[in-house]
Amino acid sequence: MSSAAFTETVAKAGVDWHSDEMKARRKRRYAADRRLQIYGIVAISFALGFLAILIGSLTFSGHKAFTQTVATIEIDLSGAKVDPNNIKDADWRGIVRGALRAQMPGLSRREERKFFEMFTSSGQFLVRDAVLADPSRLNGVSRFAIPMADPIDQLAKGEISRDTPENQRRVNDQQIAMFDQLVEKGVISTPFNWGLFFNADSRFPELAGLAGAISGSFWSLLVCFIISFPIGIAAAIYLEEFAPKNKLTDLIEVNINNLAAVPSVVFGLLGLAVFLGWLGLPRSAPLVGGLVLALMTLPTLIIVTRVSLKSVPSSIREAALGVGASKHEMIFHHVLPLAIPAVMTGSIISLARALGETAPLLLIGMNAFITSPPDGVFAASTALPTQIYIWADSPERGFVARTSAAILVLLAFLVLMNGIAIYLRQRFERRW
């Protein structure tokens, strides 16, 4: 060490840390530190604020769709001309109109048309189906709930303001007056909208429901689960426990990681070209939707399963092999059962992701307009997210609230599934 360096040191030593300059400098440095912290808080608040606004606005616009304005009307069917043996073909339109006319007698033809417009145009079918379900209603007076048409529903819920000029709203003054009369007579009520869950899709918002979409999603997820769960676990076991380390397995590994990040719409293209185009499977079917979703979730499932297999300690493997178990027995009797809670958690979370997936289902036609729930995996159907897309695209005002409500239902399912996954994780997951 040269002594020249040391003389320099002495000159340099002794910084006056308490000089005003140094103090001011430290103050600036601390301020910069605080600024960074504030930026962080601002960033988090932005993200969480957005989440709050998202949920808040959806709840705000969606909660109204959980009730439906209906008119409860008494119809005396004993006098009506209905053939008990052919209920279906009776003049239900005339019967319902007659009953409605009785509520508001003495209207001119024009006024009457406006009055009928206030009720759902499918009221006749609702009454018919109710009677078909319970023919004893033919024998006397019974009450039927007839949903109000969308504009009146909006009026009742305050979405249409009475203060807007008449030519700018979809209900005219006369209809408002008639509606108020009905309210006074106690005919109008707004019960819980069970139709939202038990009706299939409809062009009329007041009748549109999610039954088709929910069962479509159910069938799709079922197919997705049946295919991706065993294949995912088998592939993970093979890659983690059996596969030799060579170029091929490396390729598979890179491939799986990449596949997990391929945009979902590309899987839709795959489904369209291969399942619909080449294999000729039916369009819009939950079977195809499930297949596409299965291919999409498979990479994630394999990755999750491999991680949980890896976390089972080698002592357990050695113990099993030590008592003479074959490699297969070691894995299927000891390792897999220990890993299965984590695998279940992972697959439920993957299924939840698949439930929210929209784009690939659009491409294979699960955005069709279908008015009855599918009865299996081959029937044309929609799914919850595609139903949301369809409704979001519909011009009727009532569909805005329905869309939000459908989103809330979808989110409820997601929360439920993730909740189960979290419960499973906390209840069964072992830490080694």
Partner 1 sequence: MNIMSEATVEKALDQKMSDANFKMVGKDVSVYYGEKRALFDVNLNVRKNTVTALIGPSGCGKSTFLRTLNRMNDTIEGCRVTGKITLDHSDVYDPSVDVVELRARVGMVFQKPNPFPKSIYENIAYGPRIHGLARNRDDLDAIVESSLKKAGLWNEVKDRLHEPGTGLSGGQQQRLCIARAIAVSPEVILMDEPCSALDPIATAKVEELIHELRANFTIVIVTHSMQQAARVSQRTAMFHLGNLVEENDTDKMFTNPDDQRTQDYIMGRFG
Partner 2 sequence: MSGYLIAALALAALMMTFVGCARARATQNGAAEKTHSRPIYHGLNAAIWTGVPAFIFLLLWLGGQNSVINQLVIASFPGAENLDPSARSLILSEIRQVAAGNIFKEPTPEIQAAVAHLKSLQQISTVAMVAVVAATMAIGAFLGYRVIGNRYRARHSVERSVTYFMMFSSFVAIVTTLGIVASLVFEALQFFAKVPVTEFLFGLRWEPQIAIRADQVAGQGAFGVLPVMFGTFVISLISMIVAVPTGILSAIYLTEYADRRFRAAVKPLLEILAGVPTVVYGFFAVLTVAPAVRSLGLGLGIPSSPNSALAAGAVMGVMIIPFISSLSDDALAAVPRAMREGSFALGATKGETIRKVLLPAALPGIVGGVLLALSRAVGETMIVVMAAGLIARMTLNPFDAVTTVTVQIVTLLIGDSEFDNPKTLAAFALGLILFLVTLMLNLIALRTVRKYREKY
DSSP 8-state code for residue 147: E
Angle made by CA atoms 29, 33, 38, in degrees to the nearest 5: 140
Q: Which is nearer to partner 2, 116 or 378 (CB)?
A: 378
Of 85-93, 145-153, 255-263, 315-323, the segment contacting partner 2 by CB under 8 A is 255-263
Indicate which single residue of 70, 127, 276, 335 sits in contact with partner 2 (rule: CB under 8 A): 276
Residue 233 CB, nearest approach to partner 2 (Å): 8
Task: Choose the contact partner of 371 out of partner 1, partner 2, none; CB within 5 to 8 A by kind.
Answer: none
Q: Which is nearer to partner 1, 1 or 323 (CB)?
A: 1
Q: Which tokens in the block code for residue 231? A: 């294949």
User: Is there binding between residue 246 and partner 1 (CB under 8 A)?
Assistant: no
Residue 23 CB, nearest approach to partner 1 (Å): 9
Task: Choose the contact partner of 252 out of partner 1, partner 2, none; CB within 5 to 8 A by kind.
Answer: partner 2
Tokens 């408002």 belong to 176
Residue 251 CB, nearest approach to partner 2 (Å): 7
407-431 burial string, b = 16+ CB within 10 Å, else e?
A: bbbbbebbeebeeebeebbeeeeee
Angle between helices 336-356 and 211-237 (to 10 degrees): 140
Task: Choose the contact partner of 8 out of partner 1, partner 2, none; CB within 5 to 8 A by kind.
Answer: partner 1
**Would the CA dihedral through 157, 159, 163, 167 be positive or negative?**
negative
User: Is there binding between residue 423 and partner 1 (CB under 8 A)?
Assistant: no
Indicate which single residue of 200, 239, 344, 351 sits in contact with partner 2 (rule: CB under 8 A): 239
> Cα separations (Å) of 302 from 228, 252, 270, 310?
9, 11, 20, 12
Q: Quick one: which of 126, 80, 125 has its CA closest to 99?
A: 80
Residue 57 CB, nearest approach to partner 2 (Å): 5
Of 87-95, 107-115, 212-220, 278-286, the segment contacting partner 2 by CB under 8 A is 278-286
Of 19-27, 65-73, 227-235, 354-362, the segment contacting partner 1 by CB under 8 A is 19-27
User: Is there binding between residue 363 and partner 2 (CB under 8 A)?
Assistant: yes
Q: Which tokens in the block code for residue 288? A: 């195809």
| Sequence-separated contacts (24+) of 40-47 with Cβ below 8 Å | none
Task: Choose the contact partner of 133 out of partner 1, partner 2, none; CB within 5 to 8 A by kind.
Answer: none
Alpha carbon distance 54, 76 (integer Å): 48
User: Is there binding between residue 327 and partner 1 (CB under 8 A)?
Assistant: no
Residue 332 CB, nearest approach to partner 2 (Å): 8
> Cα separations (Å) of 324 from 317, 320, 321?
11, 7, 5
Q: Which residues pair with 67 in a beta bridge?
A: 192
- Annotate each residue in 22-61 with x if it binds partner 1 (CB under 8 A) or - if it does not, as one string: x--xx--xx-------------------------------
Interacting residues with partner 2 between 412 and 431 (CB under 8 A)? 414, 418
Interacting residues with partner 2 between 319 and 348 (CB under 8 A)? 326, 328
Angle made by CA atoms 212, 217, 219, in degrees to the nearest 5: 95
Tokens 């508001």 belong to 104
Q: Which residues pair with 70 in a beta bridge?
A: 147, 189
Residue 37 CB, nearest approach to partner 1 (Å): 15
Q: Are strands 70-76 and 141-147 parallel, antiparallel or unpaired?
A: antiparallel
Contact 405, 391 (CB under 8 A): no
How many C-beta atoms lie closer than 10 Å to residue 403's C-beta?
Answer: 23
N- to C-terminal Cα separation, the chain:
53
Indicate which single residue of 23, 25, 27, 29 sits in contact with partner 2 (rule: CB under 8 A): 29
Indicate which single residue of 217, 220, 345, 403 sits in contact with partner 2 (rule: CB under 8 A): 403
Q: Which is nearer to partner 1, 21 or 163 (CB)?
A: 21
Q: Which is nearer to partner 2, 211 or 274 (CB)?
A: 274
Residue 121 CB, nearest approach to partner 2 (Å): 23
Contact positions vs partner 1 (CB under 8 A)? 1-2, 5-6, 8-10, 12-15, 17, 22, 25-26, 29-30
